[in-house]
Amino acid sequence: MNPLADKIRPRNLEEVVGQQHLIGPNRILNRILKSGCITNMIFYGPPGVGKTTIARIIAEKSNKRLYKLNATTASLKDIEDITKDLNTLMTSDGVILYLDEIQNFNKRQQQSLLQYMEDGSITLIASTTENPYHYIYKAILSRSTIFEFKPVTNEDIKAALKRGTAICEKEFKDIKINIDNDAYAYLSGCSNGDVRKAINALEIAIKSTMPDENAVLHIDLETAKECSQSKVINYDSDGDSHYDIISAFQKSIRGSDCDAAIHYLARLIKADDLQIICRRLLVIACEDIGMAYPQAISIVKNCVDSAMQLGFPEARFPLSEAVLVLATAPKSNSATTAIDMALSDLETKNIGDIPLHLKDAHYSGAKKMGRGVEYKFPHAYKNHYVAQQYLPDNLLGRKYYVSGDNKNERIIAEYWNKIKNN
């Protein structure tokens, strides 16, 4: 017996929920389907949002013979078997190859398709949950159009659930299915934009619930919760979502948005990724707060050490504190800019030699070589400062550190302006 997710699978674009930016009236995939001019395409987006469904609809509406492969299990031989059918009666109108999870094909496997894409004997429709620019061979990308699929909204998922309910009710014939609105809302919300996940939970709820004496099968909120797995956040430690969440996490702290920063922290906690959280917090303390609040690194280090010692679930408390300290702290990237400029100069400039008076003079014969002879010991002067050359001759006047416009750095700048100009 086919699962409900297969029974509910749309047969045309009008039945597909979500992705209206691609399949809505006069949108690109809708126009491609109506024109019949199918080109090489890559569908990119999270699981359960309609990539496979739309690919099948497009392929089936064409006159071309459809082959389906999943790159997680397919091999070069599978591709060779398809190419053997080319230019035969059954492929006289051409071939569409639907390749699911193309990111699992290595470079050689992907390259094996190029010749056939080039001469038009194979039209590729591939799908991937990972960023195609990171995982797909550039020659494939240059011959394909990339379409990004978005997570499906709760309202669209709810519509799909109601359609699934109607299908089940029709099959049961004498049994009426009654699902509470809050149960629908829960199933929609906990699916994280994945229609297939929501439909699977609905099917479990329907099949595990007995109808009452009036032949009514009632599903309430508690039943919906029991039949739904714990919400799975789209996160893969080696994949796209991993870097997207970390990026959003750091940018939210940098942007001083406490609520967004805590939200992305929660995603990382949900993924049980303690090490990357701690590492990122330490980086942020120096990269984005820096000289505006130099004590931040010490506070964050203590929070990080506590979190590592505690482990989850208690680690969430010091991690939350560290995030809020950083998000509410004044910001400065002066330290980051300074070191990056200095490193860039090492790569791009003739930096020259270290001034003689700064070179090591703690050995016999150093003075004969002129090393350290003219060095002025700052602690021997007023305010522990004396003007002398420190940068190499080739970099004289080069300025790396520019103080940020915050209270701490303003105070430091005023102090040194006063000392150096006396």
Q: Would 343 be classed as within a structural domain?
A: no
The pLDDT of residue 95 is above 90 = no
23 plus 130 within the same structural domain: yes
Q: Any idea what the CATH number is for the domain that residue 259 is in?
A: 1.20.272.10
Nearest Cα to 191, choosing from 161, 221, 222? Answer: 161
Q: Looking at residue 115, what is its pLDDT?
A: 84
65 plus 105 within the same structural domain: yes
Q: Would 232 be classed as within a structural domain?
A: no
Q: Would 6 be classed as within a structural domain?
A: no
274 plus 294 within the same structural domain: yes
What's the domain range around 61?
Answer: 19-148
Q: Looking at residue 339, what is its pLDDT?
A: 95
Our count of domains for the chain comes to 4
Residue where a domain terminates, one of 205, 227, 249? 227
Q: Is 95 exposed, middle or buried (0-12, 13-18, 19+ CB in 10 A)?
A: buried
How far is 282 from 128, CA to CA, in rounded Å? 33
134 plus 117 within the same structural domain: yes
End-to-end CA distance of the chain: 89
133 plus 183 within the same structural domain: no
Q: Would 337 be classed as within a structural domain?
A: no
370 plus 412 within the same structural domain: yes
Query: What percent of the chain clears pLDDT 70, i.e. is strictly above it?
Result: 95
Count of alpha carbons within 13 angstroms of residue 307, beta-carbon side: 26
How far is 67 from 412, CA to CA, in rounded Å? 69
| DSSP structural state of residue 372 | S
186 plus 113 within the same structural domain: no
Average pLDDT over residues 7-24: 86
Q: Would 339 be classed as within a structural domain?
A: no
Instruction: Copy the structure tokens of residue 262.
Output: 């805590």
Q: Any idea what the CATH number is for the domain that residue 397 is in?
A: 1.10.3710.10
Q: Any idea what the CATH number is for the domain that residue 48 is in?
A: 3.40.50.300
Instruction: Copy the structure tokens of residue 182.
Output: 């809050």
3 state DSSP class of 163: helix
How far is 27 from 140, CA to CA, in rounded Å? 24
E strand segments, 313-402: none
Nearest Cα to 50, choosing from 81, 92, 8? Answer: 8
Q: Would 88 be classed as within a structural domain?
A: yes
How far is 340 from 329, CA to CA, in rounded Å? 23
pTM of the model: 0.60
pLDDT, averaged across the chain: 87
Element containing residue 96 per DSSP (H, E): strand 95-100
259 plus 142 within the same structural domain: no
Cα 272 to the center of its chain, rounded Å = 16
The pLDDT of residue 67 is above 70 = yes
C-beta of residue 373 within 8 angstroms of C-beta of residue 310? no
Query: What percent of the chain clears pLDDT 90, i.e. is strictly above it?
Result: 35
Q: Looking at residue 35, what is its pLDDT?
A: 83
Angle in degrees, CA 388, 394, 399, rounded to 5 = 65
How far is 87 from 187, CA to CA, in rounded Å? 48
What are the Cα distances from residue 70, in Å, to 111, 275, 369?
16, 33, 71
Q: Is 348 exposed, middle or buried (0-12, 13-18, 19+ CB in 10 A)?
A: exposed
Reported as a single tens digit per residue, the pLDDT across 163-218 is 889 888 888 878 898 999 999 888 888 877 888 888 888 888 888 888 888 888 89
314 plus 407 within the same structural domain: no
Q: Would 14 be classed as within a structural domain?
A: no
Nearest Cα to 53, choosing from 28, 16, 1, 3? Answer: 16
Reported as a single tens digit per residue, the pLDDT across 359-402 is 888 888 888 888 888 899 999 999 999 999 999 999 999 999 99
Q: Any idea what the CATH number is for the domain that residue 212 is in?
A: 1.10.8.60
Reported as a single tens digit per residue, the pLDDT across 243-286 is 788 999 999 999 999 999 999 999 899 887 888 899 999 999 99
Residue where a domain terminates, one of 130, 148, 166? 148
| DSSP structural state of residue 18 | S
Q: Looking at residue 92, what is its pLDDT?
A: 67
Reported as a single tens digit per residue, the pLDDT across 318-347 is 999 999 999 999 999 999 999 999 999 998
How far is 176 from 75, CA to CA, in rounded Å? 47
C-beta of residue 95 within 8 angstroms of C-beta of residue 86? yes
Residue where a domain terminates, one of 227, 251, 271? 227
Helices (H) and strands (E) in the chain, counts: 20, 7
Q: Would 198 be classed as within a structural domain?
A: yes
140 plus 37 within the same structural domain: yes
Reported as a single tens digit per residue, the pLDDT across 47-56 is 888 888 888 8
The pLDDT of residue 1 is above 80 = no
The pLDDT of residue 232 is above 60 = no
49 plus 163 within the same structural domain: no
163 plus 124 within the same structural domain: no
